[in-house]
């Protein structure tokens, strides 16, 4: 992982990316923000009451939503963004909360990305992002991928975090967005759309869903190497791929994996992590107009530090 993070640090160094941390009273977040600020990698923005922050935050900007000169401006912008789904009074209450205020900062171009989740649920982090920042044009939903690293080996796996049973259109979006994300980590993407079937060996609703997703993904991004449906062994073992899926530009050499549902995705990455001794970085959220990332509530300060660097790098890719 160290080489990957070194490369990402080089990409963001000097770009002065402002990353918002809504959980300013969490010691892990404070440690990560202080470290990032001292190293000059990003400009950390802590959301909260400065009187309640128990740390030296001289390298960070601290913003209290309730005393911010931009509060009313953000409230009005939120009401307009929600287009009748929130009153002015409701917006005022929501924007007093750090996650909503921080997400509005990203939306209003006052910050480049947001990292939360150390003390909040995934829903508390993702909901404001979906309501305010929303997904990219042509993308129907966000999803979460993991970067899996062991020595020189690097793989992308998704969706492992958010969508229980995505349809073919969603899987196609995940494939294209995962391929784009892989490039950020200097991976030349070869995307395998996974199934219990390989190249039509089974004909069920489940295998057809993946097969249709492959066709849609190729139509969306014909320049990308995306193939399937295929079993995991056909995706990663050369002689198996050649036998089961002859002529495929992905089979036997895949490095980016799209799971057919959240059950398989979440189980799959954790098996690779625990039995294969891979380091798992993520989930990294993809598909949003601007980067917002969700930490685990069991995260370390190192996790928050690394996620902020990835978030800053994502903002460069979005540009």
pLDDT score recorded for residue 296: 84
Same domain, 228 and 249: yes
Confidence of residue 1 (pLDDT cuts 50, 70, 90): low
pTM of the model: 0.90
Could you tell me if residue 311 is inside a domain?
Answer: yes
Pair (128, 163) in one structural domain: no
User: Domain check: are 184 and 275 in the same one?
Assistant: yes
- For residue 90, the domain's CATH number is 3.40.50.10950
Q: Verify that 127 and 221 share a domain, yes or no.
A: no
For residues 127 and 216, state if they share a domain: no
Question: 120 and 193 share a domain?
Answer: no
User: Are 147 and 265 within one domain?
Assistant: yes
Per-chain mean pLDDT for the chain: 94
d(CA 263, CA 275): 18
Domain assignment of residue 207, yes or no: yes
Query: Is 153 found in the same domain as 113?
Result: no
**DSSP letter (8 states) at residue 55:** S
Tens digit of pLDDT for each residue in 39-66? 999 999 999 988 888 778 888 999 999 9
Statement to judge: residues 255 and 295 lie in one domain: no
Shared domain check, 97 and 179 = no
In this predicted model, what pLDDT tens digit does every residue of 127-152 receive, in sequence order? 999 999 999 998 999 999 999 999 99
Indicate whether 171 and 90 sit together in one domain: no
CATH number at residue 166: 3.40.50.10750
CB 188 within 8 A of CB 297: no
Residue 52 has a pLDDT of 85
Query: Does residue 49 share a domain with residue 102?
Result: yes
The DSSP code sequence of 286-314 is: ESBSS-EEE--TT--HHHHHHHHHHHHHH
The percentage of residues in the chain with a pLDDT greater than 90, rounded to a whole number, is: 87
Handedness of CA 185, 172, 214, 240 (dihedral sign): positive
In this prediction, residue 319 carries a pLDDT of 60
Task: Answer whether residue 284 is part of any domain.
Answer: no
Residue with tokens 């200097």: 186
Q: What range does the domain containing 242 cover?
A: 143-279
| Count: domains in the chain | 2
297 band by pLDDT with thresholds 50, 70 and 90:
confident
pLDDT of residue 225 exceeding 90, the answer is: yes
């Amino acid at each position: 992982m160290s080489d990957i993070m070194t490369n990402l640090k080089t990409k963001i160094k000097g770009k002065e990316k402002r990353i918002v941390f809504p959980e300013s009273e969490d010691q892990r977040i404070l440690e990560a923000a202080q470290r990032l600020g001292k190293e000059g990698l990003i400009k950390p923005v802590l959301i909260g009451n400065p009187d309640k922050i128990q740390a030296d935050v001289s390298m960070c900007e601290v913003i209290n939503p309730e005393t911010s000169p931009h509060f009313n401006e953000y409230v009005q912008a939120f009401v307009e963004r929600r287009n009748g789904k929130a009153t002015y009074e409701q917006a005022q209450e929501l924007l007093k909360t750090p996650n909503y205020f921080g997400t509005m900062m990203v939306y209003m171009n006052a910050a480049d990305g947001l990292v939360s989740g150390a003390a909040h649920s995934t829903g508390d982090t993702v909901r404001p992002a979906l309501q305010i920042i929303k997904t990219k044009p042509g993308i129907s939903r966000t999803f979460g991928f993991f970067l899996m690293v062991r020595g020189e080996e690097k793989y992308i796996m998704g969706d492992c975090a958010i969508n229980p049973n995505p349809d073919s259109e969603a899987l196609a979006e995940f494939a294209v967005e995962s391929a784009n994300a892989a490039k950020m980590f200097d991976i030349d993407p070869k995307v395998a759309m996974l199934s219990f079937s390989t190249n039509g060996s089974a004909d069920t609703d489940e295998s057809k869903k993946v097969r249709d997703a492959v066709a849609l993904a190729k139509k969306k991004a014909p320049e990308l190497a995306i193939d399937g449906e295929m079993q995991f062994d056909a995706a990663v073992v050369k002689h198996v791929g050649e036998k089961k899926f002859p002529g495929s530009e992905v089979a036997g050499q895949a490095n980016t994996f799209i799971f057919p549902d959240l059950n398989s995705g979440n189980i799959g990455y954790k098996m690779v992590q625990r039995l294969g001794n891979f380091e798992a970085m993520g989930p990294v959220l993809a598909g949003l107009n601007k980067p917002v990332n969700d930490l685990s509530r069991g995260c370390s300060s190192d996790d928050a530090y690394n996620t902020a660097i990835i978030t800053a790098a994502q903002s460069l890719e979005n540009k």
